Amino acid sequence: MEKQILVTVLFTVFTAMLGVGIIIPVMPLFATDLGATGFTLGFIIAAFSVTRGVLQPVVGNWSDAWGRKGFLMAGLAIFAIVGLLVPKATSVLDLIFIRSFQGVGSAMIIPIAMAYMGSLAPEGHEGRYMGYLNIALFCGIGCGPVIGGAVADQWGLSSVFYVMAALSGCALTLVIVNMPYNTQHESTGPLGLFRSLGKMVGRRKTMGMLIARFSTMIMMVPTMAFLPLLVSSQHKATGMQIGLIIACRTLVNALLQVPFGKLADRHSKVLLLVIGCSCMGAVILAIPSGRSVSMMVVLYMLLGLGEAVIWPVLGALATEEGRAHYGQGTMMGVFNLAMSAGVFSGAILAGVSMDVWGIQWAFYVSGAAVLIFTYLGAYMISTAT
């Protein structure tokens, strides 16, 4: 039974994230066609993060008590509906509302999948199991942009969103057929959501891990959503080339998840966090200086390398904290809330920086913020008692 759950969760995450990944190269272009500025483009992305962030701890806490399959099914259904709605948008406001709705679905997919993996991971193998999940996630997102760019070049921007809807529907069918209703779940005991949150605030190691997770997500908007605008203006890149740049990052990340997951289980997680963060920050600061598409490919491969170091580390830390103190669903919900808060903050920060100083400063400011906050989180983890 555990093997069936594991395989189903991994394949479902891959399929769902493939659907998400294909819209990455086209969403900024679709939004700008509707009149989005740098600030409103950031707000479109931030709207997704707000609804996702608010709901993730609630969904996670409920899944500890009630089980996880129903939430996963609902999230995938919402993703399929969003794929059908986006091409019908006629204004930036429409996109903000649709992306907010997509955030509701997202709150029921990745945190629930992480909770499944946390519950299944044997003690001492947390990094490895989170590495497995990250492989599915990044392979889906990594392959998606290449497919999305090719589909957009061939059939237009709207067709990409219909493909997303179809892939999400396939993932939903997989869960309905293969995932048993009596899957493992856990009770958080006497601690409800708010008491768990209070306990997290008072625990230095948990807060350090959450700050690190927050900081490493600040760079998502400039490195994903603003990249098509940067390389289109500087290098006249095609949709396929944009997808290739993004894919190189995520595929490198995916390929290195298992070895770095094993490394996280055996060696200092704080040291690995600092090394990975330093690599990421340096790359983000260098992206505006990329002088060709090929150089951007190299930079994004290095960015994927840095992410491959930190993702299993932070996932393992969250799994350990959830098992010992809060319940996996609750911990993963708050963990992903920190991710959403980072994306939201990064979206606003990058959007304002772009409008005030130019698109290059979206990368400079984001890179500096990633380094500062991650080092703070690593210090808190290392000094926790």
| pLDDT in single tens digits along all 385 residues of the chain | 677 788 888 888 888 778 777 777 777 777 888 877 777 777 777 788 788 888 988 988 888 878 788 899 999 999 999 989 988 888 888 888 888 898 898 889 888 888 888 888 888 888 888 888 888 887 887 777 778 778 877 887 788 888 888 888 888 988 888 877 654 444 444 467 788 888 899 899 999 999 999 999 998 878 877 877 787 777 677 777 887 887 788 778 888 888 998 898 988 999 999 999 999 999 999 998 887 888 989 999 999 999 999 989 999 999 989 888 888 888 998 998 898 788 888 888 888 888 899 888 989 999 999 999 999 999 999 998 7
The burial class, CB within 10 Å (0-12 / 13-18 / 19+), for 13 is: buried
Report the C-alpha dihedral over residues 97, 99, 104, 107, rounded to 10 degrees: -160
- Of 315, 248, 304, 254, the closest CA to residue 276 belongs to 304
Q: Is 222 helix (H, G, I), strand (E, B) or coil?
A: helix
In whole angstroms, give the CA distance from residue 5 to residue 179. 6
| Segment (H or E) for 91 | none
Domain definitions of the chain by residue range: 2-176+193-382
Quick one: CA torsion of 353, 358, 360, 362, rounded to 10 degrees?
20
Q: And the tokens for 102?
A: 């997509």
Question: Residues 63, 193: contact at Cβ < 8 Å?
Answer: no
- The half-sphere exposure of 156 on its side-chain side, counting CA atoms within 13 A, is 5
pTM score, two decimals? 0.77
Give the pLDDT of residue 237.
73
Residue with tokens 């600061």: 285
Amino acid found at 142 = G
Report which DSSP code applies to 36: -
370 in Cβ contact with 284 (< 8 Å): yes
Please tell me the distance from the alpha carbon of residue 32 to that of residue 15, in angstroms, as a whole number: 28
- Beta-carbon contacts of residue 293 (< 8 Å; ≥ 6 apart): 231, 235, 237, 241, 244, 245
CA distance 226 to 343: 13
Alpha-carbon gap, residue 175 to 193, rounded angstroms: 27
Q: Retrieve residue 317's tokens.
A: 């830390």
CATH code linked to domain 2-176+193-382: 1.20.1250.20
The amino acid that residue 2 corresponds to is E
pLDDT of residue 269: 93
Number of H helices, E strands in the chain: 18, 0
